[in-house]
Amino acid sequence: MRRLTAHTINPATARHNLNGYQTNLASRASLGETADIQPFFYNRYDLAAMCSYYFPDIRTVDSIAHEFVIYGDFKADMIIGDSALARYLLVEFEDGLPNSIFNKTPKTAPDWAKRFEGAFSQVIDWLWKLDDMRSTGDFQRVFGTRDASFQALIIAGKGMNLSDQEKSRLRWRVDKLRVDSKAVSVVSLDDLVADVDFWLTKYFGV
């Protein structure tokens, strides 16, 4: 695996990135993962690094990488880290669609979307592979210690208008389900705007 790129958040740039992201989001009914979402975040390190706040154990972001290959078998869309504490957030992007998390059907309890289930399975594989390689020298070279800790984040969906039951099912899944004792957070593209806006205001005053 390659090393992560050193990066420190510039709050003013992150705010500028967020404004552009919000404009882009408002102008489109839907966003594609590879055509729209990945390119936007890949070219805006400061906004991307703000996603680290979904992993509360990270104190100071100082490293980031996009399309992070995990020992040749898997690839995370993004990884953000605090190398001093050896804590890292793995990020998976999915399409920004109304049905990105739940299939839109007449059923009272709609099925989980196939792409979302696929994203969750990818996260499981990432965490499995990292744990499997933990004892190697390369793991220590990349992450600084064999005791590095990880969490995962799936960013998916736009304008989903989830029912109360769907919100409850998603909240339960996020709160209760753990992969090797690690949390897997899920956030929509819409909610990401509100969350990053709050963090920039509260922690950086911008």
The long-range contacts involving 133-137, CB below 8 angstroms and separated by at least 24 positions, are: 133/71
**Per-residue pLDDT, 66:** 96
**Against a cut of 0.85, is the pTM above it?**
yes
**Per-residue pLDDT, 204:** 96
Give the residue ranges of the chain where pLDDT is below 50. none
For the chain, domain boundaries = 5-204
pLDDT of 135-161, one tens digit each? 999 999 999 999 999 999 999 999 999
Helix axes 11-26, 189-199, angle to 10 degrees: 150
Give the Cα separation of 160 and 155 in Å (integer): 13
**Per-residue pLDDT, 96:** 96
Give the Cα separation of 110 and 95 in Å (integer): 18
Give the Cα separation of 68 and 18 in Å (integer): 23
**Per-residue pLDDT, 165:** 94
**Per-residue pLDDT, 1:** 64
